[in-house]
Amino acid sequence: MLPSLDDLLGTARVVALPLVTRFRGIDSREALLLHGPEGWTEFSPFAEYDDAEAAAWLRAAIDFGWERAPALLRDRVPVNATVPAVDAAEVAGVLARFPGCRTAKVKVAAPGQTLADDVARVRAVRDVLGPEGRIRVDANGLWNVDEAEHAIHALNEFDLEYVEQPCASIEELAEIRSRTAYLDVGVAADESVRRADDPLLVARTGSADILVIKAGPLGGIHAALALIRQAGLPVVVSSALDTSVGISMGAHLAAAIPGLDYDCGLGTASLFAADVTREPILPVDGSIPVRRVTPDPDLLDRYAASAERRDWWLARLERCYALLAD
């Protein structure tokens, strides 16, 4: 059952939070927060997503704010550091924001950068983490198969844990997985799960070794858990550059998964210069706590989006609600 639209609009707050480092081409992150009977929740699909895709994120927000969370199997979740596509000289400063994290996810294949830039960045990460640290890279589907094969060979000297979404299509994932199998570098699927008409197809076709799961685009914690059970593959629970409210949703999902073999991508509140709470969910000793977050009213006011952007988000909420109601 959906709450009424009036219930959603009555508590909606839209914020624009500055980032420490430019990420995904943005310097600030907008999000719409809602308060339901189970607590605060977040609706924050990226601005470029259409309403049909964004409606799943609203379903997730309602799930977390209006439905009881599943039983928790742990009270802390191990997380990785996230390194944007920064210059190699900036890597140490980024990693310092993730205390205790022994795994780093490194963005590669950024527009306007070269493979040499990626190699230098990953080398800098390895220098900081040392030989025992784990490194995974994320290309966001921006390589073709030949480019991916070349890049994986170039980065293999740094002992990669896995490469996330090296290519865009499931067919390409299967091919690059076959081509590089002898290197023992896993292939993880992200966009091929969360932006797919059939999020289980990548598992059924054997096109990936690991699934990257985000609660928001999959329709919420309960829907994500059902998918994980059906997929039968190890998973990494990740964020979508959420505020600490959205991170809380991801942490509750990760805490409900019986087997959690990989550090999760839920430390990204460290990439924010400000948050909606004075106690943000940040990594300590390489993990984050599993808890609900209540925004601070003063911070909601301080980082409130402009009236124009607020109205844009509220209109988007109404359109997505209509899709869910149908």
Of all residues in the chain, the percent with pLDDT exceeding 70 is 100
Overall average pLDDT of the 284-302 stretch: 98
Q: Go through the domains of the chain in sequence order and give each one's CATH number.
A: 5-69+297-325 (3.30.390.10), 76-289 (3.20.20.120)
Give the integer Cα–Cα distance in Å for 291 and 279: 11
Tell whether pTM > 0.85: yes
Catalytic residues: 107, 214
Overall average pLDDT of the 298-312 stretch: 98
pLDDT (tens digit per residue) in 244-260 = 999 999 999 999 999 99
pLDDT (tens digit per residue) in 135-150 = 999 999 999 999 999 9
Overall average pLDDT of the 149-178 stretch: 97
pLDDT (tens digit per residue) in 185-244 = 999 999 999 998 899 999 999 999 999 999 999 999 999 999 999 999 999 999 999 999
190 is in an annotated binding site: yes
Give the integer Cα–Cα distance in Å for 215 and 222: 9
For residue 21, is pLDDT > 90?
no
For residue 158, is pLDDT > 90?
yes
Task: Tokens 């607590």: give the residue.
Answer: 39
75: pLDDT confidence band, cut at 50, 70 and 90? very high
